[in-house]
Amino acid sequence: MKALGRHVLAEIYDCDFEVLNDIKKVEEIMVNAALEAGAEVREIAFHKFSPQGVSGVVVISESHLAIHTWPELGYAAVDVFTCGDTVNPWDSCNYLVDKFKAGHMTATEVKRGIVEGIQKEAVNL
């Protein structure tokens, strides 16, 4: 089945507190994760929470990367959604595991916009 996109939902554990709590580092790592996968970065928005935590999104031509961190738990929830055949979301996820100094990651890939399903839905409307 041909999908329009690949959406990886990653749970990244045992990360370095200092990295996950530093908005500039998280932003830099997320942008570089997009570039590592071959994506084209369009927009960037990040926010630092008090007393800790960072949320942000990197909008790419191929879709987006999003993150929310819980530094006190050493945990980051990450979405990497890519469309087309040229960008591999797993390249971004593996880069993040390395740069966050993570102990491990669990992740699930969801195929988005299965073309056959879209065509069936359009016919049934």
Under 8 Å between Cβ of 98 and 16: no
61 given a catalytic annotation = no
Under 8 Å between Cβ of 78 and 106: no
DSSP secondary structure, 99-123, as one string: HTT-SEEEEEEEEEEEHHHHHHHHH
> Which residue out of 15, 63, 64, 93 is catalytically annotated?
63
> Which residue out of 7, 15, 64, 83 is catalytically annotated?
83
63 given a catalytic annotation = yes
Other CB atoms within a 10 A radius of the CB of residue 49 amount to 14
Distant-in-sequence, close-in-space partners of 7: CB < 8 Å, separation ≥ 6: 79, 80, 81, 82, 89, 109, 110, 111, 112
68 given a catalytic annotation = yes
Active site residues: 63, 68, 83
